[in-house]
Amino acid sequence: MSSPDRSVPVRPVLHLRSVRAAYGRIEVLHGIDLVVRPCEVVALLGPNGAGKSTVLKVASGQLVPTAGCFHILGRHANGIRPDVLARSGLCTIPEGRGIFFNLTVTENLTMMTYGGSSRREVQERAFARFPRLAERRRQVAGTMSGGEQQMLAMARALSVQPAALLLDEISMGLAPLVVDELYELVAQIAADRVAVLLTEQFARAALGVASRVAVMAQGRIVAEGRPDDLPADLADAYLGGSGTAGRREAGGSADTRAGDTSAGDTNTSNGRAA
């Protein structure tokens, strides 16, 4: 996918500066510097426990940094509540979908009208981007496939026309072909000038659409750059062997991109809203 023209300065949508964060007395982020601009997909990759989801919690206002700061559209955002950030154009899709499983598709979308958009506007945006949801509009969300549930979560977030979209492990529990389809949608969303920051444990699922990659380990970013620029030895060490060879295969089968653990399209009909 195309990146912004670097010859013209583009103000970052999201900017983390020397961010440190902790759970209680245990520091888990040790000086994170990260920039996400319009039209970019920045993939935050690394093993479990690296601190990827904690970065998203800081960026969405769910966790206040212990040091450093983060800016949204140039505005200092430390301490601003998540709901205020969401109304300002920063939307998060958490791990586990983030939908109301006991409501229909239409009812899930109606919940997003509290941000100020009309029901008609929300539905038109959602169904134009995700035609399959229009076919399922009266279906209870918990009875849909995992991929359709993830589409609904994305539709809910996009209904407020965000400037930034934070995605936490959207491939989890989904079949490889579904993951491939979702990441094609991510690329389309970024092309509409949305800044996308996503986390993935399994790098192959994100490398095909990422403008830049930041590799995390033990609460630090240990490498950053374009996907093709990552050293093969570092990719093998931190990304489960998704080095240069894996990136060459990114245009091939969805199984290659999704990794080995996306074995099935999970239907979580008994879940609750995240």
Would you list the DSSP string of 170-218? TTTT--HHHHHHHHHHHHHHHHTT-EEEEEESSTHHHHTT-SEEEEEET
DSSP type of residue 270: T
**Among the ranges given (98-102, 108-112, 259-263), the one the predictor scored with the smallest mean pLDDT:** 259-263
Q: What is the mean pLDDT of residues 31-37?
A: 98
Asked if residue 213 has pLDDT above 80, the reply is yes
Please indicate whether residue 83 or residue 273 has the higher confidence score (pLDDT).
Answer: 83
User: Hey, CA dihedral for 233, 234, 239, 244, is it positive or negative?
Assistant: negative
How confident is the model at residue 240, as a pLDDT? 58
Q: What is the mean pLDDT of residues 191-209?
A: 89
Asked if residue 236 has pLDDT above 60, the reply is yes
The topology under which CATH files domain 14-97+164-258 is Rossmann fold (3.40.50)
Asked if residue 271 has pLDDT above 90, the reply is no
Q: What is the mean pLDDT of residues 102-124?
A: 90
Contact partners, residue 84, CB within 8 Å, separation at least 6: 61
How confident is the model at residue 98, as a pLDDT? 83
How confident is the model at residue 56, as a pLDDT? 97
Q: What is the mean pLDDT of residues 123-135?
A: 94
Q: What is the pLDDT of residues 44-95, one digit of tens each?
A: 999 889 999 999 999 999 999 999 999 999 999 999 999 899 888 899 998 8
CA pair distance 87, 165, nearest whole angstrom: 12
Residues above pLDDT 70, as percent of the chain: 81
How confident is the model at residue 233, as a pLDDT? 73
Asked if residue 155 has pLDDT above 50, the reply is yes
**Among the ranges given (14-18, 52-56, 87-91, 231-235), the one the predictor scored with the smallest mean pLDDT:** 231-235
What is the length of the chain? 274
Which one-letter amino acid corresponds to residue 135?
A: E
- How does strand 212-217 pair with strand 41-45? parallel
Strand partners, 35: 15
pTM here is: 0.81
Contact partners, residue 24, CB within 8 Å, separation at least 6: none
How confident is the model at residue 37, as a pLDDT? 97
Q: What is the mean pLDDT of residues 135-146?
A: 96
Q: What is the mean pLDDT of the chain?
A: 84
CA pair distance 223, 213, nearest whole angstrom: 8
CA pair distance 142, 140, nearest whole angstrom: 6
Q: What is the mean pLDDT of residues 154-171?
A: 92
CA pair distance 108, 118, nearest whole angstrom: 14
- How does strand 164-168 pair with strand 195-200? parallel
How confident is the model at residue 238, as a pLDDT? 63
Domain segments of the chain as ranges: 14-97+164-258
DSSP type of residue 73: T
